[in-house]
Amino acid sequence: MKRGLEQIVVEELLKRINQQLLHLLIETQRKLWFFVLEYLSGDYVIDKMGRHTDKGSKITTYTDEYKMYSKLESAGYQHKVVNHSFEYANGNIHINNCENRHSLLRPFLVIKRGVSKYNLQSYANLFQFFFNKRLQSHNPVEIVTQAINATINFLYFLQCLKNQQFLKLFV
C-alpha cells in the first residue's frame, strides 16, 4: 500500500461501501460490474452505464430513491424506483440482487483488513472477475488459472508499451 493515501477502516468501509460503489448487473449478459464512484452525480452514473451497455438497447434500471439516479429516465433508460423508507419491493421492482452482490463483496474485503480508496477499484475488479467466471465454470482451479493467465498477458502488454514495442503485438 502506498503511504499517504487515506485508508478506509473495515467498519467504516462496510458503512460507506454502498455509497462508493456503483453495481451494474446486466441480466441478459449475466455479467457484473462494480465501479468506484469518483463523483456522486447522475451524469457520471449515466456515463459509466453507457460505456457498458449497447447503444439504443432498451434498458430498465432498478434503483433506490437516491437522488443521483433521477437523471436516468431523461437519459433514455426506463427507471423503476423502490423507496426503502416504505418498502423493500414494489411488485417486481427491487434491488435485492444488488444488495446480495454487495453482501458477497463485503467478506471479500474484510479479509484485507482495510482497503485504501486507491485500491478499492482493484479489489472490486478482482471480485467481479471471480464472480463472472463462476458463472462459466465451477472449477476453482480453472478460474485461478484464467486469472493468472490474464495477469501475465496484461503484464506482457505493459512491458511492450514500456519498451515501445507495442507494434509487435499486432504483427
CATH of the domain at 16: 3.30.420
For residue 129, the model assigns a pLDDT of 83
72 inside domain = yes
132 inside domain = no
87 inside domain = yes
34 inside domain = yes
From first to last of its 171 residues, the chain has per-residue pLDDT tens of 444 444 434 444 444 555 566 666 666 566 777 777 777 777 877 787 777 777 666 777 777 777 777 777 788 777 777 777 777 777 777 676 777 777 778 887 777 776 777 778 888 888 888 888 777 777 778 877 887 888 887 777 777 777 766 555 555
83 inside domain = yes
49 inside domain = yes
For residue 6, the model assigns a pLDDT of 42
For residue 47, the model assigns a pLDDT of 81
Task: Report long-range pairs for 14-20 (Cβ below 8 Å, ≥24 apart).
Answer: 14/106, 14/110, 17/102, 17/105, 17/106, 17/109, 18/102, 20/117, 20/120
43 inside domain = yes
Helix (H) or strand (E) holding 94: strand 93-94
Q: Which CA distances in Å does 162 have to 123, 148, 153, 170?
A: 25, 21, 14, 16
Query: Is the distance from CB of 32 to CB of 132 less than 8 angstroms?
Result: yes
Domain with 43, as residue range(s), is 7-116
For residue 37, the model assigns a pLDDT of 77
Structurally, how many domains does the chain consist of? 1
160 inside domain = no
